[in-house]
Amino acid sequence: MTKELYNLGEMPPLGVIPPKMHAWLIRPERFGKPMEAFQKEVVNTPPIADDEVLVYVMAAGINYNNVWAGLGIPVNVIGARNKAGEPEDFHIGGSDASGIVYKVGKDVTNVKVGDEVVMHCGQYSRNCEWVKSGGDPMYSPTFRIWGYETNWGSFAQFTKVQGQQCMPKPRHMNWEEAASYTLVAATAWRMLHGWGANAVKKGDVALIWGGAGGLGSMAIQIAKAAGATSVAMVSGEDKFDYCMKLGAKGCINRNEFDHWGMLPHWKDNVGYSKWLKGVRSFGAKIWEVLGEKRAPNIVFEHPGETTIPTSIFVCDTGGMVVVCAGTTGYNATVDLRYLWMRQKRLQGSHFANTEQSNQMNELALRGLLDPCMSRAFTYDEIPVAHQLMHDNKHPHGNMSVLVGATAFGLGAHGKPPVAIEHPMLPKGDVHNTPHPYPMSTPLPGIGEGEALTITDDGTKVKDLMHRGIISCTPTDTIGTVAKIMVNKEIHAVVVMDEKGKAIGVVSQTDMVLARQGRTPDQARALRANEVMTPGCATCDAEMLLSDAVSLMTGRRMHRLVVTEKDQPVGVISMTDVVRKIIGE
């Protein structure tokens, strides 16, 4: 008779599924820091569908997504699933694993009971029309990250996965190593190989951000296997050796430069020139590392806001900046001139499909991909490992935990086909960057947008606007415009052509930018049409104030020309809105 429950590490006979299993659970009532959110419980072992597999978990990989799942932000993953019709009021996380197949659904053909496997974390419905028609499952509305957006992840004795998620375990890796690499390596594979003409190829140069991090360490190895040369970006020279051992030709310490962050305004001659100087010296450093004057064909991006302007600038003509995250922020600024004139591509990328995950795994099977496991923990330490992540005190590289495996270092059978030296990260190397956003946060869809309730007091533009337009001609000098501004105590002047049509606005910001890099006399002599922000955003006097505010902020403008029957009659400005807020 099958035992009701096996102790942890006490392996049930192959193919025997006990009705109950040990697992680490997150429940909504204890959402919070990992040490509180995760608790050990015993639950029913889940049944499987025809296309699914039950895997006895030997080790599980740790990823940031389950720190977020435990916090319950930005998404309550349990609530979201309950809303979609799934009954369980708990979450078993874990999006990386190694283990042994214990049961297969009747439609599963790629694995059988007893197979040693690793699993990628991409789930989707095989009944999705898009998938059935041969479309990339990554674009399917049914796509979910297993163990984050789905339940029954790898922090349990058994995990429920789709057959297509299972891939052969590299024989030379022990259980914890095999559990640590798939999520980051498959993501890096799609980024580098998934984008048609821009896929990495022999002879290419790849610039890899965060070369000693989870994604970067995989990217260096994948680029090397393709015959490309990579330059690794890191935050200290103590990480150079690590990246070089993985196959980077050379490294750059990003702390030697200070031009990071959003682009200065393109009209800001001084700020832009300084930025250009910084980014050019960074480009020269790439040449120095390469030993030749070549620009990267591929830039492997994930820091986002602080690095995208540089990535776009240094990327070769016809090259690609491929991005899978915005760890430092999402408002990436792009100087479009470099994008279109040099015909570069800015490509978003997210995880990987089944085919790409298996292509990546081929490298691991052949011994050409070091899993870069920095630290393994015991089953009892699952909350500790996540707490270290939460507190940003975890080591770089990939981490995993033992589940069914009874000791560290078990499960390896023989030597890798190709021997690679495992690089060591500098002692005491821990994360010191802001918390990355969960790798898969469902974005609100159009339907969800409609459900939002918007409160509005019905104020219209005509209730707050200033009647009358203070204007100048296109050929008026900036000196004249400045006098108008000062005398009338206003922040902008509308530029009207000879037919009385508003063709632009000279704002205080335009004036200040005109002064940058010029003498006061030179600035004063400029004409209004040379410095104005061309085009004139208008709104009807009957427009709701809230809509006018959206128009202004969306276009980064501080004022709108107000029209009645298409004729300019006044101006509404941010100052007017601020006055209303303070009740003036």
Which residues are at the interface with ligand NAP (CB under 6 A)?
64, 183-184, 187, 209-210, 212-216, 233-235, 239, 254, 302-303, 306-307, 324-325, 327-328, 350-351, 396, 431, 433, 436-437, 439
Q: Hunting for tokens 């296109």 — which residue is that?
A: 474
Closest separation in Å from C-beta 541 to ligand NAP: 46
Minimal distance, residue 90 CB to ligand NAP, in Å: 24
Q: Which is nearer to ligand NAP, 166 or 233 (CB)?
A: 233
**Do 339 and 311 meet the contact criterion of CB atoms below 8 Å apart?**
no
How far apart are CB 325 and ligand NAP at their closest, in Å?
Answer: 3
CA gap 115, 100 in Å, rounded: 6
DSSP code string of 117-141: EEE--EE--TT-HHHHTT--GGG-T
In sequence order, the 6+-apart residues with CB closer than 8 A to the CB of 444 are none
Least Cα distance to 515 among 293, 302, 269, 336 occurs for: 269
The residue among 261 and 517 lying less far from ligand NAP, judged by its C-beta, is 261
As measured in angstroms, the least distance from the Cβ of 537 to ligand NAP is: 34
Closer residue to ligand NAP in complex, CB, 120/239: 239
Give whichever of 154 and 471 is closer to ligand NAP, judged by the CB atom: 154
Q: Which residue, 325 or 490, has its beta carbon nearer to ligand NAP? A: 325
Alpha helices in 160-251 (DSSP H): 175-178, 182-193, 214-225, 240-246
C-beta of 120 vs 396, nearer to ligand NAP: 396
Q: Which is nearer to ligand NAP, 425 or 541 (CB)?
A: 425
The closest residue (CB) to ligand NAP is 213
CA 202/CA 204 separation, integer angstroms: 6
DSSP states along 42-110: EEEPPP--TTEEEEEEEEEEE-THHHHHHHT-S--HHHHHHHTT---SSB---S-EEEEEEEE-TT--S
CB of 278 to ligand NAP, least distance (A): 14
Question: What pairs with residue 251 in β-bridges?
Answer: 232
User: Residue 358 in 3-state DSSP?
Assistant: helix
Phi, psi values for residue 391, rounded to 5°: -85, 5
Report, in Å, the least distance between residue 468 CB and ligand NAP.
48
Minimum distance between the CB of residue 215 and ligand NAP, rounded to whole angstroms?
Answer: 3
Residues with Cβ within 8 Å of 35's Cβ and at least 6 positions away in sequence, in order, are 383, 384, 387
Cα separation of 375 and 452, whole Å? 44
Distance of closest approach, residue 571 Cβ to ligand NAP, in angstroms: 40
User: Minimum CB separation from ligand NAP for residue 127, in Å?
Assistant: 24
User: What are the residues whose beta carbons fall under 8 Å from the beta carbon of 372, sequence distance 6 or more?
Assistant: 180, 181, 214, 217, 218, 246, 397, 398, 423
CB 18 within 8 A of CB 5: yes
Nearer to ligand NAP, 166 or 325 (CB): 325
Based on CB atoms, which residue is closest to ligand NAP, 145 or 557? 145
For ligand NAP, the closer of residues 184 and 332 by Cβ is 184
3-state DSSP of 179-205: CCCHHHHHHHHHHHHCCHHHCCCCCCE
Backbone φ and ψ for 99, nearest 5 degrees, come out as 180, -165
- Find the angle CA(534)-CA(540)-CA(542) to the nearest 5 degrees: 160
Distance CA 469, CA 30 (A): 59
Closest CB 254 distance from ligand NAP, rounded Å: 5
> Is 215 or 531 the residue whose CB approaches ligand NAP more closely?
215
Tell me the closest approach of the beta carbon of residue 61 to ligand NAP, in angstroms: 11
Are 190 and 353 in contact by the 8 Å Cβ rule? The answer is yes
